[in-house]
């Protein structure tokens, strides 16, 4: 079973729908003990970094997330919150990844970045069976530069991290739950870790 952390941010329904389509049992919770006992943990998120971090901290979930040893997948804002710091609201984040989250500086390009982009340089069991240059769906105004924890890259004005990994922690800047068969395969791969 996968445990989805419900901390009051973002559209959880698309994530719930994805697991329902896959026939995968899930639980939606903010209960610390249930999260600690989970087989796999999903940290979703849509919105702004500072209020999201404040909600995690108020519920005591920031320390819980840092302590997890099972596979954890952060999606979109969830991945950004797993980084060290976000320029959005000058927000200290969870620090699981040392990366900084920075606003797109892409003259002539629309921000937020919304739409389908190809991912490449895939380097993780999370991408088993996924072809280079497969398309996934993004919606975001902030991104993480390519670095040592990058396991998938994409471009919008310049290359950035589409996905990160450090130990048992994984992040996807894109929305696998909205990325069709490619996204479903990525979620299945996460469940198989």
pLDDT at 11: 72
Catalytic residue list = 76, 175, 177
- Work out the average pLDDT over 185-189: 97
Domain of 120, CATH number, reads 3.40.50.880
Q: What are phi and psi of 67, to 5 degrees?
A: -90, -5
The shares of helix, strand and coil residues in the chain, as percent rounded to the nearest 5, are 30, 30, 40
pTM, two decimal places: 0.96
Domain count, the chain: 1
Q: Which residue has the tokens 């040392």?
A: 98
pLDDT in the model for residue 105: 85
Residue 161: domain span: 2-192
Q: Report, as an integer, the average pLDDT of 159-188.
A: 97
Residue range 12-62, pLDDT digits in tens: 889 999 999 999 999 999 999 999 999 999 999 988 999 999 999 999 999
CB 42 within 8 A of CB 15: yes
The pLDDT mean for the chain works out to 96
- Segment 167-185 shows an average pLDDT of 97
Q: For residue range 61-80, list pLDDT tens digits in order.
A: 999 999 999 999 999 999 99
| pLDDT > 90? residue 107 | no
């Amino acid at each position: 079973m996968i445990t989805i952390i419900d901390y009051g941010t973002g559209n959880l329904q698309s994530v719930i729908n994805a697991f329902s389509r896959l026939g995968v049992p899930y639980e939606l919770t903010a209960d610390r003990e249930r999260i600690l006992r989970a087989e796999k943990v999903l940290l979703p998120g849509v919105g702004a970094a500072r209020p999201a971090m404040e909600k995690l901290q108020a519920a005591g979930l920031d320390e819980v997330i840092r302590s997890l040893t099972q596979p954890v997948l952060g999606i979109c804002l969830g991945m950004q919150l797993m980084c060290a710091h976000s320029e959005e609201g000058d927000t200290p984040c969870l620090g699981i990844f040392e990366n900084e989250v920075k606003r797109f500086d892409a003259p002539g390009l629309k921000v937020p970045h919304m739409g389908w982009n190809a991912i490449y340089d895939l380097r993780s069991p999370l991408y088993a069976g996924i072809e280079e240059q497969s398309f996934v769906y993004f919606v975001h105004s902030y991104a993480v530069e390519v670095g040592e924890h990058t396991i998938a890259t994409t471009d919008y004005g310049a290359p950035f991290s589409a996905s990160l990994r450090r130990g048992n922690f994984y992040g996807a800047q894109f929305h696998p739950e909205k990325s069709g068969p490619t996204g479903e395969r990525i979620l299945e791969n996460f469940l198989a870790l």
